[in-house]
Amino acid sequence: MEKVAIIGAGGWGTALAILFSRKFAVALCEKFPEYADFLDKTRENRDFLPGFKIPESVKITSDAASALKSSSYVMLAVPSRYFRATLKEIADCARGKKVIIATKGLEEGTGKRMSEVLAEECQSAFCAALSGPTIAREIASGKPAAAVVASSDISFAREIQGFFSSENLRLYASDDIVGVEMAGAGKNVVAIGAGVVDGLDLGNNAKAAYLTRGIVENVNFGIRIGAKEKTYWGLAGLGDLLTTSFSKFSRNRSYGEALARGEGEKFLAGTKMVVEGIYAVKVIKEMADALNVDMPITNAVYRIVYEQSNPRDEIRRLMARSLKDE
């Protein structure tokens, strides 16, 4: 049986371990030894994915070297802000492995995609990015889902597609790793705003219009940095945006809803999960400003998150922008 190592035992990493344990021998690596022991004994990730049993067949460890030693494939499911540090710790063990990036985010400070960080820290790794509408709780429960796996080497993307597809997860292959990674980061920004729309009870018309203009904005930005437009109309773009903007389990949407109530800080204090959109909006705004790309929705979300702008004022500002052709 093929062996797969999953680095990162948050909700997403745990869901992947549960899913793939039905097909492979899985090692789930949790950074902190105490929590790894807790997961091993209780077989439930109460902090990040409560209510789901981690199969006994999943090896839970805090020793990354042990998890990686006999695994042909490595899945990285750590938050973007810890991605580089994690790679530095496992780089020697990961060289030569086939790596699938399951992190949706951008590196704060550099604006680099996770595959770019991987290339810098672990040069010899085969690399693909996994993205799409994949809420962790639904994946863990075995509900059907589809996602896209992208690599600059399409043959490698197709290898991952064939290897990891199952009756519960249908994978599509792509060679547009730039688009898949950027769509995965950008949708988190738009989802924060979708939560604001929900929190202000602005209705379905407003939310539909907001999401439509949000994805157009992301498409325009993506094209400028080398992504393919069609990627944004697929699973990594439109598909993931819809899930993240509507699911009650979406951290980014829920955070936006809390912002609309004036409870953003309270929300963050009450969760151990990372809201990736907080970091992505800053990076994308900086990149868009440098490239002179007009991104009014991104700018509005940025002002709400970082400048404590009143959400209702930002809605009025968006509605009052100069009229234009679609």
- Block means of pLDDT (10 residues each) for the chain, length 326 residues? 94 98 96 97 97 98 93 95 95 89 96 96 86 98 98 97 97 98 98 98 98 98 98 98 97 98 97 96 97 98 98 98 94
Residue 254, pLDDT score: 98
Q: What CATH number matches the domain at 184-319, 3.40.50.620, 1.10.1040.10, 1.10.1050.10, 3.20.20.30? A: 1.10.1040.10
pTM for this model (two decimals): 0.96
Annotated active-site residue in 187, 207, 272, 324: 187
Phi and psi at residue 146, to the nearest 5°:
-135, 150
Check if 187 is active-site: yes
Residue 309, pLDDT score: 98
Q: Which fold is adopted by the domain 3-175? A: Rossmann fold (3.40.50)
Domain ranges of the chain: 3-175, 184-319
Residue 96, pLDDT score: 84
